[in-house]
Amino acid sequence: MKDDIIVTKDLCKTYVLGKITVPALKPTSISIKRGDYISIVGPSGSGKSTFMNLLGCLDTPTSGNLIIEGTDVSKLNENQLAKIRREKIGFIFQKYNLIPTLNAIDNVALSMSFVGINLKTRLKRAEELLGLVDLSKRISHKPSELSGGEQQRVAIARALSNKPSIILADEPTGNVDTKSGDKIMNILEDINSQGETIIIVTHDLDIAKRANRNLYIHDGEVVEAAY
């Protein structure tokens, strides 16, 4: 029996724009099991990114609870949230979000520096992770010298660097060609097969269908879906 890695209880986020209150995420109660491979699909402005940002501890809920590996993170301060982000969560962004001035290996090693791992160990692990995403020969290349697919693979390696238990991928194939997108999805599925929890936001139903559980968001409401 798999344990719950993420539990939300009436998790809600509203934005106040002047006198208008906009519900970006309506009260949501779901649980995600360790090792799940989940897709979240929904139209633009439906609340996908808000949900992801809350799950990733980048944003704080207006009300409700978010429990990650038994810890209610909705009550934590900024520094405690940063600790959760660096130890439990790996981010993969649609636009890769690599640091342009750092080469591939340094980009991967960066997040390990926030945990206090020494330089030698950081570089060794970063090199191994880049090997895992088939970029051993590109470790000293800067993001501007890499293709979109390669940059996204560096971002995957970076997301894995602190051995997180959850990988959050926001449109990971949104900016790459089909062949590169397929390669990225294969890597993510490999990672999932090793027990990692993967939550992926996508517009692409073909990508969503590859997940073993599907969520659909519409007007801030999260529902289970089947494709």
Partner 1 sequence: MTLLGICIGIMAIIALMGIGEGMQQAITGELSSLSDTIVLSTGDISANAFGGGGFEHANNNEYLTERDIADIQRINGIKDVSTVLFSPGIITFNGESNSVSLVGIDELNMEKIFGIGVLGLESGDFIEEGKQNTCVIGYNVAHEYFDVDIELGNRVNINGKNFAVVGIYKKQGSGMSTETDDNIHITPRDFEKITGLSESSSAIIRIYDVTYADVIADEIETVVNENHGDDDFANAITMTSLIESIQQIISIAQVVLLSIASIALVVASIGIMNTMLTSVMERTREIGIMKAIGATNKDVLFIFIMEGILISIIGGFVGIALGIIGSRGLSTVLTRSFGGELTPVISTSSILLGIAVAVIVGMLSSLYPARKAAKMSPIEAVRYE
List of residues contacting partner 1 (CB under 8 A): 53, 56, 58-59, 78-79, 82-83, 85-87, 91, 93, 97-100, 110-111, 114-115, 158, 162
Q: Cα–Cα distance between 66 and 55 in angstroms, integer?
A: 7
Nearer to partner 1, 94 or 180 (CB): 94
- Report the nearest approach of partner 1 to the CB of residue 194 (Å): 21
The amino acid at 105: I
- Report the nearest approach of partner 1 to the CB of residue 1 (Å): 30
Nearer to partner 1, 12 or 58 (CB): 58
- Report the nearest approach of partner 1 to the CB of residue 79 (Å): 5
Q: Which two tokens stand for residue 34?
A: 């360790």
Nearer to partner 1, 65 or 97 (CB): 97
Q: Cα–Cα distance between 134 and 136 in angstroms, integer?
A: 6
- Report the nearest approach of partner 1 to the CB of residue 91 (Å): 5
Q: Cα–Cα distance between 38 and 113 in angstroms, integer?
A: 29
- Report the nearest approach of partner 1 to the CB of residue 222 (Å): 19
Nearer to partner 1, 114 or 227 (CB): 114
Q: Cα–Cα distance between 150 and 218 in angstroms, integer?
A: 32
Nearer to partner 1, 4 or 14 (CB): 14
C-beta separation of 30 from 55 below 8 A: no
Give backbone dihedrals phi and psi of 218, rounded to 5 degrees, phi first: -140, 125
C-beta separation of 27 from 64 below 8 A: yes
The amino acid at 69: E
